[in-house]
Amino acid sequence: MSTQPVSTPVVKTTPPRSLHRALKQFLLDNMVTLFFAVICALGLWAAGLPLSFVVSDLILRISRNGVLILALLIPVMAGMGLNFAITLGAMAGQLAILMVVHWEIGGVAGVALAAVLATPMAVLFGILVGKLLNKTRGQEMITSMITGMFASGLYMLLLMVIVGTVIPVKNPEIMLGTGIGVKDTVDLAILSRAVDDLWSVPLPTMGLAAAALMLLYYGGKLLAKQTSDPEQAGRAVIKLGLIAAVAIAAVSGWIMTTDSLFNMVTVPVATFALVALVAIFNLFIITTKLGQDFRAVGQDQHIAKVSGINVDRTRIIAMTISTVLAAWGQLLMLQNLGNLRTYGAHEAVGMFAIAALLIGGASVSRATVGQALIGMVLFHTMFLVSPQAGKALLGDAQLGEFFRAFVAYGVIAASLAMHAWKRTMATRKRLLS
């Protein structure tokens, strides 16, 4: 038997961070989101719009654009940055909806058929863009942006020249009087709000339903922790969730007993259900083998390749999923708007969706569903109140419009600059260590 003394393992402990340092780090990590939260609060105060109107319009805008913003998450996870090429997915959706209008198939059936038609086009576009980005590794964002512009030119050539000459279309509802080229604006009356009006409920009713779901979810988690986990970790979050659920139920019930204008606000449940499904899909895919491959490729392509992951194929799949989701998101937006700006509807899609995601706290290397949801609320709140706030403060609503455009482009430029700065600092720190 050995007589050597047993050595006591040394446990390294890290000193707890002070509250000051934790607060400083929180502000640094979330400075973009906090800045725009303050801007939105000031805009709401200056605009003086009724809160019921703001909430109603916000619900409409989020249901309209939610899927387009969530379509950006997977390419970020796979290390491909912000996908400016979701405009190609939007174009696939627009081409599909033009076919459906030409065949005069309206309602939910028309939207569903458009989704079916748009999917193979979006898959093809996604594969082509993915292959191109694999050839321009390290320059994915600028390549996807230029690709989107190039594809937009081809799209215009198709609809302005080829349709009516090579492709015979004689529908006066969508064709120009000369018989060559599609109209600049196409009426989508047969598809207008086909999904939105499928199932809508008043906001207080939706509040009660949401509160019930939250009670079931957090109540179940609390019971599970009490029976299987003696630790206290996570209980505070669960209790906060339960308190929030009770508060939502109380406020919703109180509104239902009054003549508040909030009773007139409706929630398109079917559309929000589709947005929620896409959000759940993004969360679910992280738990799969494919999702782990996305993350591995996004962290280090060389190590992922050594580990046996087909890096090129994984990146193409990420781009394809993003493009397909963008096509479906564009269909949801168009059925909500009720008309199609044939040559311009897709152009701002990528820019506004990316700006919304970045305002939520995402970066070119990390984006979550939570950041996308926060970004939707802040970005659309700012878009809603800016003209009225500009008119109230400066006497000209047009200044508010300029501010909205400035923010959309400015936040993207600022985020890219911050990402480059952080990467430089990390490299310098690694070299000095």
Is residue 413 packed enough to be buried (19+ CB in 10 Å), middle (13-18) or exposed (0-12)?
A: exposed
Place of tokens 């400015």: 410
Helix residue ranges, H only, 15-106 = 19-29, 31-47, 51-70, 73-77, 86-102
Q: Give the DSSP H/E element, type plus range, for residue 268.
A: strand 266-268
Residue among 91, 154, 132, 147 nearest 345 (CA) = 91
* Stretches in the chain below the pLDDT threshold 50: 1-8, 10-11, 15
**Predicted TM-score (pTM) above 0.75:** yes
pLDDT of residue 156: 93
pLDDT of residue 6: 46
pLDDT of residue 1: 41
**How many contiguous H segments (helices) and E segments (strands) does the chain have?**
16, 4
